[in-house]
Chains A and B, each alone.
Chain A
């Protein structure tokens, strides 16, 4: 009775390992940005005074951001996964026609993210660091993210 289901599970896992569809790539990179966003959702309200500063929570979120930014997601930006190709993404085709600038924007994110763990100790240092990090989100969205 259970064998077909078991077999199906293996088959699914195997096929996932073999080929990453454009949809998988898009979902994976969106997962990455969701995870980044979840940290910003902790830090930004503190920096903006909408939430009381909590050093422990801030430190965790800041460490997470720094760790996440070390993940190289560039392989997920495969050809044929722009907003011109599919509905599920906001990635503009300019990413692929201007990859150098896209990578420059990514570098800015990496640098700002790397400064987060040291900045999370106090509200005074957190505020400018969140501003800088959020700024790297904006400047990349302006160029490469469709609305």
Chain B
């Protein structure tokens, strides 16, 4: 797989631990299912609910992992200050890789945005009452009616669109790295391994 003989200056490091990788790909599946079912699924939204519960579980694991996981999985590692983000942005048009092992300074914040939006989506989903008696969120009865019948569904619908945009940017960034910088970011998310210069 890695041709260490041809490029002896490179070595392979572990960049993503198994929990991060499993979380990522399960989230891809659950998010696609939740979004697709929400938009085009049957009127009885049982499977949309299940996909949402799966996302809630994944988020819980990832949040805990952000404190106790491997180095690149930790919030303390991937949330950089404004100067690092500015430096990264300056370097972004370059054809060279930024060389970060783990999330880059901008990517780290985008992860936080995605996690935050997903949490909003889970909370508003659980508390939404679309007044059809069959797709009522399990916690809709625990919040005031103005929230369950109005604000929660409104925000849920709006954030669904926001999430699609954020995922679009996420994929665009990966395509940009692949085509412009010649860096494959998908493979490390599958194998966990990344080749870096010595």
Which A positions have Cβ atoms within 8 angstroms of B?
37, 40-41, 43-44, 47-48, 130-132, 134-139, 141, 145, 147
Contact = CB atoms under 8 A, between A and B. Distances in A.
B132 A141 contact: yes
Nearest to A108: B43
Contacts of A44: 133-134
Contact of A135 (B42, B131, B157): B42
Contacts of B132: 134-135, 137-138, 141
Interface of B is mostly: loop
A53 to B, nearest CB: 16
Nearest to B46: A131
B89 to A, nearest CB: 37
B150 interface: yes
B133 A139 contact: no
Given A147-B149, A147-B157, A37 B43 contact: no
Contacts of B153: 147
Contact of A37 (B42, B130, B133, B150): B133
B135 interface: yes
B130 A135 contact: no
A138 B134 contact: yes
Interface of B: 42-45, 130-135, 149-150, 153-154, 157
Interface of A is mostly: helix
Contacts of B149: 147
A40 B130 CA distance: 13
Nearest to B136: A44
A48 B133 CA distance: 10
Nearest to B151: A147
Chain B CB within 10 Å, residue with most, of A40, A44, A135, A147: A147
Contacts of A130: 133-134
Contact of A139 (B43, B131, B150, B157): B43
A41 B132 CA distance: 10
A131 B44 contact: yes
Nearest to B44: A131
Nearest to B152: A147
A134 B44 contact: yes
Contact of B130 (A131, A132, A141): A141
Nearest to A33: B131
Contacts of B43: 134-136, 138-139
Given A131-B44, A147-B157, A138 B150 contact: no
A121 B135 CA distance: 23
A134 B134 contact: yes
Nearest to A45: B133
A127 B162 CA distance: 35
